[in-house]
Amino acid sequence: DAFLKRHAATVRALATYTAWGADAKLMDALPKLGLISHFGVGYDSIDVAAAKQRNAMVTNTPDVLNDCVADTAMSLVLNVMRQFPRSENWLRAGKWHAVIGYPLTVSLGGKTLGILGLGRIGEVIAKRAQAFGMKIAYHNRNQKDVPYAYYADAVALAKNCTVLLIATPGGAETMNLVNAKVLDALGPRGFVVNIARGSVIDEPVLIKYLRENRIAGAGLDVFVKEPQVPPEFFALENAVIYPHVGSGTVETRTAMGDLQLENLRLYFAGKPVKTRVV
């Protein structure tokens, strides 16, 4: 508050990221705010409607992270279906004997990957999954001109895939989109993978379904209240969990930072920004 009172009259732009966005209250405290330059493709931590009302532009950092997030998505698919982390722990615990091997797992080839949210990242994931021999299906608000099976809602998609991969934006519109009905449709042989936002899944329901083996497993890079992860996940052997590392490489984070800064430079130079959201 003291900082805002001292500098409010001169602040023209904000640099934000996933954990620290901007709400209407902060924008009201900065009357000369003209740009919110966000680090990340998802910008649900920013009140975009409030920014628009106050004539403040919002930019994000799309495309430069597509490949790394898609790699993370496929690693989660592999690790939850083939149980590589679990099998490594089994080996490290000294359980591999001459006549006892690790239990058989599930192959990717021939299975259907259902992508919930076939945007830029979803399309890159689809290409990688096809290289593993997977079939592709998807659900979007609007059908796209792509050679993949389209389903009109999340329940129908879950019913017709082995892996439900969530790649939708976060925010109020997708809150708990993957709920009990969707997980029931996925069934005890189905897997769910989330590289979008934790809010898209009803987290307590997911924990219950994993505990009761009502779905086969989950691969998660995101959680509702990051970095606080429900401790119940730690005891679940059918859950593979990452600490939100989807875009976490030196190359990608550098490219994201460069794009965030470039939008700021352009704005202060009076030129059009590169990746405007509103």
Q: Which residues are part of the catalytic machinery?
A: 197, 226, 244
Scanning the chain, the segments in alpha helix (DSSP H) are 2-7, 24-28, 48-53, 66-82, 84-92, 120-131, 154-159, 180-186, 203-211, 250-268
Secondary-structure breakdown of the chain: helix, strand, coil percentages, each rounded to the nearest 5: 40, 20, 45
Spatial contact of 197 and 170, defined as CB atoms under 8 Å apart? yes
- The alpha carbon dihedral of 177, 180, 181, 187 has a sign of positive
Spatial contact of 34 and 55, defined as CB atoms under 8 Å apart? yes
Q: Which residue has the tokens 């009259």?
A: 9
Cα–Cα distance for residue pair 83/102, rounded to 1 Å:
10
Q: Which residue has the tokens 């509103």?
A: 278
CB atoms within 10 A of CB 12: 13
